Structure 1
């Protein structure tokens, strides 16, 4: 137990020390990509056409193998043993507890399965962490969720994310694994921004993408949108289909499109050769 806690603390310190992606220096070059929507597809920069992160429905030569059937309830997980294999650490760097359990709920959604999460857990602040190994074909996102009225069991209506509706608004930490064990990751604000997230590869290269600064505070009135279920306010989506131009203009003042997805022509994606990532969620809203 002491060893496991030490590992978590070490990863937390590594992430925190690395979590300072540069701001734009007065010039903003936006990028656009949306890996969830089958109307779009995403090619990794510098990779052959066959290599993609978070590839979705009907892309030539790729058929997603789902981990979970949406007719089944979400799977609850607690921290799994870390044997050095593929997987992801979820680190909760949000000092504010959310919901009745005094933690934050985190959910794994598979691409094109937006109505029912695949996995979910609760991570306690400050600095709490869990390690999980998704199924080898996972392609999707990790997002903050709602744990309101949670009493140790899930009853329909207790938790907003289990109400059978799409809960897209917020920051997405997007991950996928290829058949050779390599994993791909990025942070996307295309569907909203409910707080900073950093994705870091846990291989020798130690690359990271995302952001750690607060861009919600002081955002202009026209940049906000309300989350479904909880009614919490966060920054609106910026996708071209109904995207909020006020939100886009605000975020591009502070965030580097080489670090986080903002539009379409830059792909801020990293890979992890050993299939291991750490994803840190900073102060945000659910």
Structure 2
């Protein structure tokens, strides 16, 4: 049985599973252990992080308006570690701490209200402590649009998708409302990792299983960066 990079079933929320790479998988359903031992108590503005050559992600806004992006550590769902706002067509580098394991998502000021906001496309990143980073795009917790992820180590390896029709063509029966009132494709798995067939099957018909995690039982769209650096575009 395959699992997305940071997924455990709800039965394992209080445990962690070590992968050969040293990555610790956490849960799309929240819970588990914070990889660095504690959660942030206040989100940091990453506007001035700058690229100092270390681990991190160059975030590009491929949309038509200014958007904000939020960095969450695994199991720290209420308060982001960092956030950054990026103008349309621009990019900013967000540095990641050693052993970071978590996700980057689109969001609004609502993400700073101290409550979990899980619904949406997850860009998942994990650093294993040996200089390598791993990443994937996951739609298990929902889909609020396309994201592509590429390594920034010269290999050109990439994953994710840039097709806007995945969201635009979705039937009404698979939508929920996001925190900003927008339509978001709902999660493909509920409690105990039970698959919501209608949602999973729609996404599979559009993307297959090679570009993003659609459930925990198919595909392995994880890429590895040899220098812990990535480039990502949110569309």
TM norm. shorter chain > 0.5: yes
Report the structure, 1 or 2, having the larger strand content.
2
The answer to whether structure 1 residue 132 and structure 2 residue 94 are counterparts is yes
Which 10-residue stretch deviates more, 265-274 or 241-250? 241-250
Give the alignment partner of residue 218 of structure 1, picking from 161, 169, 180: 169
The answer to whether structure 1 residue 116 and structure 2 residue 86 are counterparts is no
- The separation in 2 between residues aligned to 1:236 and 1:243, in whole angstroms, is 11
Aligned length: 223
Secondary structure of 2:206's counterpart equals: coil
Deviation digits for residues 102-123 of structure 1 (CA, Å, limit 9, x no counterpart): x101000000000110000100
Asked if structure 2 preserves the Cα contact closer than 8 Å seen for 1:91 and 1:130, the reply is: yes
What does residue 209 of structure 2 align with?
257
The answer to whether structure 1 residue 78 and structure 2 residue 47 are counterparts is yes
Secondary structure of 2:168's counterpart equals: coil
- The separation in 2 between residues aligned to 1:63 and 1:75, in whole angstroms, is 18
Q: What stretches of structure 1 of length at least 5 have no aligned partner? A: 1-30, 98-102, 147-158
Asked if structure 1 preserves the Cα contact closer than 8 Å seen for 2:149 and 2:231, the reply is: yes
Q: CA deviation at 1:52?
A: 5.1
TM superposition score normalised by structure 1:
0.71
Q: Structure 1 residue runs of 4+, over 4 Å off? A: 40-43
Root-mean-square deviation (CA, aligned residues, Å) is: 2.6
Which aligned pairs between 1:1-286 and structure 2 lie closer than 5 A? Answer: 33=4, 35=6, 37=8, 39=12, 49-51=19-21, 53=23, 55-56=25-26, 64-66=35-37, 69-70=39-40, 72-95=41-64, 97=65, 103-125=66-88, 127-146=89-108, 159-214=109-164, 215-227=166-178, 229-241=179-191, 243-263=195-215, 264-282=217-235
Q: What stretches of structure 2 of length at least 5 have no aligned partner? A: 28-32
**Rg comparison, structure with higher value:** 1
TM superposition score normalised by structure 2:
0.85
Q: CA deviation at 1:206?
A: 1.2
- The separation in 2 between residues aligned to 1:35 and 1:230, in whole angstroms, is 26
